[in-house]
Structure 1
Amino acid sequence: MPDTYTPLENYGVIGNQETCALIGSDGSLDWLPLPYLDSPSACAALLDRERGGLFAITPTLKFQSLQRYLPNSNVLTTQFSTAAGECTITDFMPPREAGGEHRMLLRRIAATRLETRLKVVFAPRFDYGRQKPELVPDGTRLTARAGKLNLILSGVALEVESDAAARAELRLNEGEELWLVLSWADTEKLPTPKECGKLLEKTLSFWTRWSEAHQRSESVHQELCHDLAMRSGLALKLLMNPESGAIAAACTMALPETVGGVRNWDYRFAWIRDASFTAQALFHLGYAREAGQYRRWVTKILQELPEVSSLKPCYRLHESVAREEGSLEVLEGYRNSAPVRVGNLAWHQTQLDIFGEMVNTVFETTRFGEEMGAKTWEAVRRICDFICQNWGKKDRGIWEMRTPPRHYLHSKLMCWVALDRGCEIARRTGRRAPVAEWERQAGELRRAILERGFNARLNSFVQTFDSEDLDATAFLIPIHRFLAPDDPRVQSTIDAVWSGLSAGPGLLYRYSADDGIAGREGAFLLCSFWLVYALSLSRRIDEAEAVFRQALTRVSPLGLMSEEVEPATGEQVGNFPQALSHIGLINAALHLGIAKGRGHQGPPPQSEGERPGSS
């Protein structure tokens, strides 16, 4: 059976700051959850070509295509060339923050040379392919109804067929254009073609104005990877909830970490992990407002905690959305990769590292001059007291292992970060705290990490206490200022992990240990960028730049990244686009730029601050 699925690197993403859509280079809209990013899908051909649902506009003749974003925007164009002529499809959603109606997706077809013939297929499937909506045509308007969701497609007369799909064939001559509007708004009024043109102008204006913050910033990215950093910022903006400031890990669910495998997770949640790195990335791109929004989301979670132990590794983007993990048997999965998981079990897990992330983000808040409220400080105190009582316990770790809990070094490191930064906040702000006890506990933690987390035979820090398993989180030891970059143990760890987890030039696996899940995974792009951080801090600049350049070759033609890369083929795998991969790129360029003597705005990354002792 031929593989009819579109490679992930051949998708573009658009969005309205409430949801996102993936549109392939073949003109097919294959992923659209509605009305929110974490809602059930209306189109999910991404996960099942036959039953998932789609909205495709494709040439009737054999074609070549090229996708691009209009400059500094999230407006996507797909140019088609056939033997008969050429056309361009422009896809976008009006951003919520631009004001006005935004719950619509607009597709402009413009014939640019000779004659263009296209076929339109509109076959939505609601609730992850489990509902075939009723299709009701009315001239050039068609309504898809099922349950509470109504979709209206206007602009072309479609013929409804027996398979709950509507189809049409179009012929446009050079210079002609046609607008198709897909709306899920609570209104029957849809924009006219002239109004559609104005919406395009308004959308472009919003994104280009927003992007100017990066253009004006004194960013180190200007030299190293300006366009890719810009695209990363634009992708993160699409994944950010404009009300709360939370950022989704990705806009998709159930995309496999290896094709045909079972590691298929729902990433439409906001994770606590790497919170401080996220705020750092946004700020140094020039987006101080978004960095502040994100930090306020974190502090709001802290302030509302009924008890410290109730802190979760991940949070829903919208409270009305289910979070329990299950599987959808109706969908076959991307390239037959089942199960298709929805929801995520991770929110149930105990992950001690998240407490360090929270305190470190509050510390970042004070570094950037924002005032820390009394409730936030009280939450920090409670976390540090909790860490003193619980750092010796086992957990599931940053990678959310499904094996029995263990003593993960990264979790211990982040517990140390919580106590270290808690003490530093207290000293800087004059807040009352049992600093002596926190420092004593931090000292015990430090000794435990150095004595049980470093394997003398491997000459490297390892994944869990008293083990011989390597883990890329060891690159974070100098990043979090636990040891100085020039400490021999740091340098030997960089070399051991780089060699032991290498997946090819510029690529690394996350770890080598059994994680309790069948199958294998691809190379993890974030780990490549962590290696760049560590090499840059070590002032091993040539090696850092080489790894960085190699990692950039894994970016899609549109500048987007998934979570992982299949080393054997170079294809992107895992959920897409992945926030952590883009955050990693931004921060890797920042660290590398500073190592090369480039300037930056605002406070430097914590890793470039005062270095710890090497005891």
Structure 2
Amino acid sequence: MEQLPISDYGFLSDCRSGALVGRDGSIDWWCPDRFDSASVFGRLLDPEAGHWRLAPIAAGLPGHRVERAYVADTLVLRTVHHTPEGSVAVTDALAAEFGARGHQLGMNSPAVLLRVVEGLTGRVRMSLDFRPRPEYGLLTPYLHEQPDGGVLAAAGPVLLALRTGGIPPHVDRDRVRQDFEVSAGQVVGFDAAYGQAYGTAPARLDPVTALAETVRAWQAYRESHHYDGRYPEQVRHSASVLTGLTYARSGAVAAALTTSLPERIGGDRNYDYRYSWLRDFAMTLRALWVAACPSEASRLFAWAARSIGRIGPEPVPVLFGVEGERDVSEYESHHLRGYAGSLPVRVGNDAWRQRQLDVPGEVIQAVWRLREHLGEAFDTELREMVLGLVEQVATTWHLPDRGIWETRDTDRHYLTSKVLCWVALDRAVALAPRLGDRADLRRWAAIRDEIRAAVLREGWNERTGAYAGAFGSADLDASVLLLPLVGFLPATDPRMRATIEAVERELGASDGLVRRWNTDPAGFLPCSFWLVECLAMAGERDRAEALFERLLGHANDVGLFSEQIDPRTGAQLGNTPQALSHIGLVNAAWRLTAPTTD
């Protein structure tokens, strides 16, 4: 199988999990139980790991053309296939619970994939190929034809019920194949419902009715959220993507839908991003506050506080499972061939074991952002969390760590790690009146000032005329663009201004893309959006706006961003859709709306 480009995939979500559907009509990724559960369709990572294709027989042949778009304010994807025989629309969604409105979206999702085929013109011959492979392709299910005309796929802990809208399915040993015709005006609904072999049975829904209900649920959700800034269409869509990456039951936001999509084709930096990172916490909260509403931000904060728990001597992990699991130990799936042959394929992420000194600063910055909402007197658990994090920073800030890029070689004194330690203490000093008698204001302020002096002294490199990525290094690192964004230095400070220019000059790639470091082969979208914010804060609004609009051009045809862009080809790289890229878009748009905002 020729691998589809990452940008050819559209994103479906029920706020429990998500699916990826290609322009060719094949659903190649679905982990139905929750974002980080095992896949039942995994062709994204191996041709034999399962898929569900529904498309014209003429798809891919001369005369076939595809148009697709999301139904307004939803993650319901409508794909129109134009063929020499006529045109047909396939509308795909993950079903919302019937009657779900507002913040109920995703709370009790039934885990059902909906696919509704509508004939538009002529008579189009269609082909269905349903080939589930649970456990990342390790299991081949038995297929049992049902009295109602459907097919039940059973293997290990998984049940999948396929219903084919009255079209008789043809079971071919380990897959369902069927060709059929659709005439103009004809509507045929299909669904695949997930259930547990020893638990919940697959839900039974009418696909056409359930699709209409899902559209209403998404649109009602978006109607309750308001954004009054610039680039409203892009911000609202990014807010929908962030909602789609939110595990509704806990409020956690997954970093991406996928695992092991490579940063470089054939490379080995292939990681599992289906977890929620504390590092992205403050930026995520800001984006949710801007583009969604305080309720989402508050639920995310509550999830983080509960996941962190009582602070002990061990470093707070940078990431957790979407229900707050701490141990997300990593292993390699050796039976999978990887996206475009890129190995290894990883499940789990061992970055949870690393010492990353920036994490407490991210959490305390989030507390600072929510300070008015949290009240003048913090409750006992919140107070203990903040006090524990501050003391951890006060006693460990001088140590080396792995940094925000989670290097897997050696610890270093990374500049942004030290700056986020400064943030932790700076915000804690401001929050001291809410922290009770144990707030050690004078000591915290002294350590904060010591950290600041160390960063200004050890982080500046005279030879390059810029702040470097680590103490004693001359290597540029785009993470230093965070310094103005967290208030460590103004963007107009002469040394900071020189650093911004050096990053733009030395790490810039085509179309405004910014690489993380000199040897990074691809443009990293979050850093590129940080540059937009820095330019706006430096008073260069015209340049910031021009850069922002160039970056918007790197979205795929349905407005989705992965993590990185190949500057030579424009191809999307890395896990997708990437929350931090969409967070960067929202925050940059708001900065261009109100450049003096926090």
CA contact (8 A) 1:125 1:133 kept: yes
Residues in 2 aligned to 1:188 and 1:502: alpha-carbon distance in whole angstroms: 50
CA contact (8 A) 2:80 2:88 kept: yes
Residues in 1 aligned to 2:130 and 2:145: alpha-carbon distance in whole angstroms: 12
The answer for the alignment partner of 2:69 in structure 1 is 68
The answer for the alignment partner of 1:4 in structure 2 is 2
Letter in 2 for 1:365: L
- 1:407 counterpart = 2:418: no
The offset of 1:201, in angstroms, is 2.3
Does the C-alpha gap of structure 1 residues 188 and 267 become closer, same or farther in structure 2, counting only changes over 3 Å? closer
What is the 5 A alignment of 1:429-578?
Answer: 432-512=438-518, 521-578=521-578
The answer for the alignment partner of 1:15 in structure 2 is 13
Does the C-alpha gap of structure 1 residues 431 and 212 become closer, same or farther in structure 2, counting only changes over 3 Å? farther
Residues in 2 aligned to 1:511 and 1:589: alpha-carbon distance in whole angstroms: 25
Does the C-alpha gap of structure 1 residues 40 and 526 become closer, same or farther in structure 2, counting only changes over 3 Å? same
Residues in 1 aligned to 2:326 and 2:305: alpha-carbon distance in whole angstroms: 22
Residues in 1 aligned to 2:590 and 2:306: alpha-carbon distance in whole angstroms: 28
Alignment match of 1:36 (pick from 10, 29, 34) = 34
CA contact (8 A) 1:308 1:382 kept: no
Q: Which runs of 5+ in 1 are unaligned?
A: 514-519, 596-603, 607-615
Letter in 2 for 1:59: P
Q: Deviations over 1:562-589 (max 9, x none)?
A: 0000111001010000000000000001
Q: Does the residue aligned with 1:67 lie in a helix, a strand or coil?
A: strand
Residues in 2 aligned to 1:191 and 1:465: alpha-carbon distance in whole angstroms: 59
Does the C-alpha gap of structure 1 residues 567 and 188 become closer, same or farther in structure 2, counting only changes over 3 Å? closer
Residues in 2 aligned to 1:47 and 1:100: alpha-carbon distance in whole angstroms: 29
Letter in 2 for 1:242: A
Residues in 2 aligned to 1:491 and 1:369: alpha-carbon distance in whole angstroms: 35
Residues in 2 aligned to 1:539 and 1:298: alpha-carbon distance in whole angstroms: 35
Identify which range, 289-298 or 91-100, moves more after superposition. 91-100
Letter in 1 for 2:461: N
Q: Does the residue aligned with 1:117 lie in a helix, a strand or coil?
A: strand
- 1:202 counterpart = 2:213: yes
CA contact (8 A) 2:310 2:384 kept: no
Residues in 2 aligned to 1:505 and 1:314: alpha-carbon distance in whole angstroms: 32
CA contact (8 A) 1:133 1:146 kept: yes
Q: Does the residue aligned with 1:130 lie in a helix, a strand or coil?
A: coil
Q: Does the residue aligned with 1:505 lie in a helix, a strand or coil?
A: helix
Letter in 1 for 2:536: S
Residues in 2 aligned to 1:352 and 1:79: alpha-carbon distance in whole angstroms: 49
Q: Does the residue aligned with 2:253 lie in a helix, a strand or coil?
A: coil
Does the C-alpha gap of structure 1 residues 69 and 142 become closer, same or farther in structure 2, counting only changes over 3 Å? same
CA contact (8 A) 1:39 1:321 kept: no
Letter in 2 for 1:138: Q
Does the C-alpha gap of structure 1 residues 41 and 471 become closer, same or farther in structure 2, counting only changes over 3 Å? same
The answer for the alignment partner of 2:85 in structure 1 is 84
The answer for the alignment partner of 2:115 in structure 1 is 107
The answer for the alignment partner of 1:420 in structure 2 is 426
Residues in 1 aligned to 2:125 and 2:437: alpha-carbon distance in whole angstroms: 70
The offset of 1:14, in angstroms, is 0.8
Alignment match of 2:151 (pick from 139, 142, 159) = 142
The answer for the alignment partner of 1:178 in structure 2 is 188
Q: Which runs of 5+ in 2 are unaligned?
A: 98-103
- 1:133 counterpart = 2:141: yes
CA contact (8 A) 1:461 1:470 kept: yes
Aligned pair count? 579
Residues in 2 aligned to 1:589 and 1:293: alpha-carbon distance in whole angstroms: 24
CA contact (8 A) 1:305 1:311 kept: no
Task: Give aligned-pair identity as a percent.
Answer: 34
- 1:340 counterpart = 2:348: no
The offset of 1:341, in angstroms, is 1.2
Identify which range, 243-252 or 361-370, moves more after superposition. 361-370
RMSD: 1.8
Residues in 2 aligned to 1:358 and 1:286: alpha-carbon distance in whole angstroms: 20
The offset of 1:293, in angstroms, is 1.1
Q: Deviations over 1:24-46 (max 9, x none)?
A: 11111110012111101000111
Q: Deviations over 1:53-73 (max 9, x none)?
A: 100012112321111111111
The offset of 1:200, in angstroms, is 2.1
Q: Deviations over 1:94-129 (max 9, x none)?
A: 235347762211111111101010110011111111
CA contact (8 A) 2:329 2:350 kept: yes
What is the 5 A alignment of 1:50-61?
Answer: 51-61=48-58
Letter in 2 for 1:154: R
Residues in 1 aligned to 2:311 and 2:494: alpha-carbon distance in whole angstroms: 43
CA contact (8 A) 1:23 1:30 kept: yes
Alignment match of 2:163 (pick from 143, 151, 154) = 154
Alignment match of 2:381 (pick from 359, 375, 391) = 375
The answer for the alignment partner of 1:600 in structure 2 is none
The offset of 1:428, in angstroms, is 6.6
Identify which range, 178-187 or 441-450, moves more after superposition. 178-187
What is the 5 A alignment of 1:252-331?
Answer: 252-302=258-308, 304-318=309-323, 323-331=328-336
Q: Does the residue aligned with 1:43 lie in a helix, a strand or coil?
A: coil
Residues in 1 aligned to 2:224 and 2:291: alpha-carbon distance in whole angstroms: 8
Alignment match of 2:371 (pick from 354, 366, 391) = 366
The answer for the alignment partner of 2:205 in structure 1 is 191
CA contact (8 A) 1:299 1:362 kept: no
The offset of 1:487, in angstroms, is 1.0
Does the C-alpha gap of structure 1 residues 456 and 64 become closer, same or farther in structure 2, counting only changes over 3 Å? same
Letter in 1 for 2:42: A
CA contact (8 A) 1:506 1:528 kept: yes
Letter in 1 for 2:6: L
CA contact (8 A) 1:298 1:361 kept: no
The answer for the alignment partner of 1:598 in structure 2 is none
Residues in 1 aligned to 2:168 and 2:311: alpha-carbon distance in whole angstroms: 55
CA contact (8 A) 2:425 2:444 kept: yes
Residues in 1 aligned to 2:297 and 2:327: alpha-carbon distance in whole angstroms: 27
Residues in 1 aligned to 2:224 and 2:203: alpha-carbon distance in whole angstroms: 35
Q: Deviations over 1:168-219 (max 9, x none)?
A: 0011111111111110143366224xxx3332222111111111234x44x2
